[in-house]
């Protein structure tokens, strides 16, 4: 599949193929679908997903949601009792059905047409190239809006909820404003050379100077003034989603950064970030995380393809999912997504807390 994508991009680059962007995307979806039918298998009970009209983005997210057994367990507990409206438009209901189908021990790719059409009815359109992080956040938002069991919906949100304390210090009068908010992922900006997950996270929690057009209103000064903004962690979730922001807007165009970003298989936030990244109200505990899924983007910002590496719950082995094609992989294979000389670059990282939820209530969101 990668070889097919490579040669077609070369053809377009040198002007030997005059098809529109939409035609190209639909054409690539057809090729991907044909490739999948020829090369699909399901090791260790994992099922692939056919590519229907550029559905690779949703396919990889479904693989990640399937590997997030905590989410699947919560959805299994949900028994809609009415109030879901049109079930064909209900994202959590169709997600529940899709995840159940993916657990079925069948040789064919799992059926997920209804979930795709459900997203389309909620304005995540088919046959359009989407951003995986945006679709991920949209699906979480739909679960909050469309589940009739609001307590269970809150438990799902808490799986990913990162509570942060924001500090804004005026550079003129030194007054400080503080407020609490939450994130469902940790968005990390990267430099255009070499990066590590540790250095990107450290930068996220460093004080940022806000000047000129970024000045904020200071109630004590009565005007917009330069200031310094910083974040501190109040609580950590069971599932820590990290978004490696590789896309930049430059002169009205979106560009992708293929620079190298390394990340570990296990990560201790307290040891790597230091005490200064945590609020004084944070109760220190074991904040170790283990990587269990990586969403990978290959290609450019305009012509891309999503795949995923996921760790199987049963045998703890890594698997590579490229639409309906699923094969066993290794940690060394996952490391090829660091970037640099590779076109396949990690875009989203999913870490699971290594401490049982009942033993660390402050890290449950």
* Domains by residue range for the chain, with CATH: 2-81+93-363 (3.90.70.10)
Catalytic residue among 56, 118, 218, 241: 56
pLDDT at 43: 52
Can you give the pTM of this predicted structure?
0.84
**Mean pLDDT value across residues 286-313:** 92
pLDDT at 284: 67
Task: Read off the pLDDT band of 152 (50, 70, 90).
Answer: very high
Q: Residue 271 is encoded by which pair of tokens?
A: 């040891």
Contact 346, 263 (CB under 8 A): yes
Q: Residue 66 is encoded by which pair of tokens?
A: 């399937």
Catalytic residue among 112, 243, 305, 325: 305
State yes or no: is 56 an active-site residue.
Answer: yes
How big, in percent rounded to 5, are the helix, strand and coil portions of the chain?
Answer: 40, 30, 35
Strands (E), the chain: 162-170, 176-183, 186-189, 194-196, 208-210, 216-218, 223-225, 227-235, 239-245, 247-250, 253-256, 260-262, 266-268, 288-299, 304-311, 318-322, 325-329, 345-353
In angstroms, how far is CA 340 from the centroid of its own chain? 20
Least confident range from 16-25, 129-138, 306-315, 316-325: namely 16-25
Mean pLDDT, the chain, as a whole number? 84
Does residue 110 sit in helix, strand or coil?
coil
Which is more confident, 351 or 246?
A: 351
Task: Read off the pLDDT band of 269 (50, 70, 90).
Answer: very high
User: Quick check: 34 pLDDT over 50?
Assistant: no
User: Quick check: 13 pLDDT over 70?
Assistant: no
User: Quick check: 30 pLDDT over 50?
Assistant: no
């Amino acid at each position: 599949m990668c070889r097919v994508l490579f040669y077609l991009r070369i053809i377009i680059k040198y002007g030997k193929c005059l098809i529109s962007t939409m035609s190209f995307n639909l054409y690539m979806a057809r090729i991907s679908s044909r490739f999948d039918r020829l090369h699909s298998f399901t090791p260790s009970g994992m099922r692939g997903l056919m590519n229907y009209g550029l559905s690779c983005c949703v396919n990889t997210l479904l693989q990640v949601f399937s590997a997030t057994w905590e989410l699947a367990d919560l959805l299994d507990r949900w028994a809609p009792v009415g109030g879901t409206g049109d079930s064909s438009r209900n994202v959590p209901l169709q997600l529940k059905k899709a995840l159940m189908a993916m657990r079925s021990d069948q040789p064919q790719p799992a059926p997920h047409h209804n979930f795709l059409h459900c997203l389309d009815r909620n304005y995540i359109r088919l046959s359009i190239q989407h951003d995986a992080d945006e679709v991920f956040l949209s699906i979480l938002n739909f679960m909050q809006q469309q589940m009739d069991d609001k307590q269970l919906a809150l438990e799902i949100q808490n799986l990913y909820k990162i509570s942060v304390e924001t500090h804004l210090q005026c550079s003129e009068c030194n007054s400080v404003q503080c407020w609490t908010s939450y994130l469902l992922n940790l968005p990390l900006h990267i430099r255009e050379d070499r990066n590590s997950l540790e250095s990107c996270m450290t930068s996220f929690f460093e004080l940022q100077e806000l000047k000129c057009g970024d000045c904020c209103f200071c109630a004590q000064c009565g005007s917009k003034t330069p200031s310094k903004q910083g974040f501190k962690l109040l609580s950590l979730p069971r599932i820590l989603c990290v978004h490696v922001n590789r896309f930049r807007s430059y002169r009205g165009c979106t560009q992708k950064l293929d620079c190298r970003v390394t990340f570990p298989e296990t990560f201790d936030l307290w040891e790597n970030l230091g005490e200064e990244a945590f609020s004084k109200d944070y109760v220190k505990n074991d904040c170790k995380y283990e990587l269990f899924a990586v969403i990978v983007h290959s290609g450019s910002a305009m012509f891309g393809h999503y795949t995923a590496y996921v760790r199987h719950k049963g045998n703890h082995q890594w698997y590579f999912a490229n639409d309906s094609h699923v094969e066993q992989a290794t940690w060394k294979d996952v490391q090829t997504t660091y970037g640099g000389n590779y076109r396949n670059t990690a875009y989203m990282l999913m870490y699971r807390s290594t401490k049982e939820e009942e033993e660390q209530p402050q890290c449950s969101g």
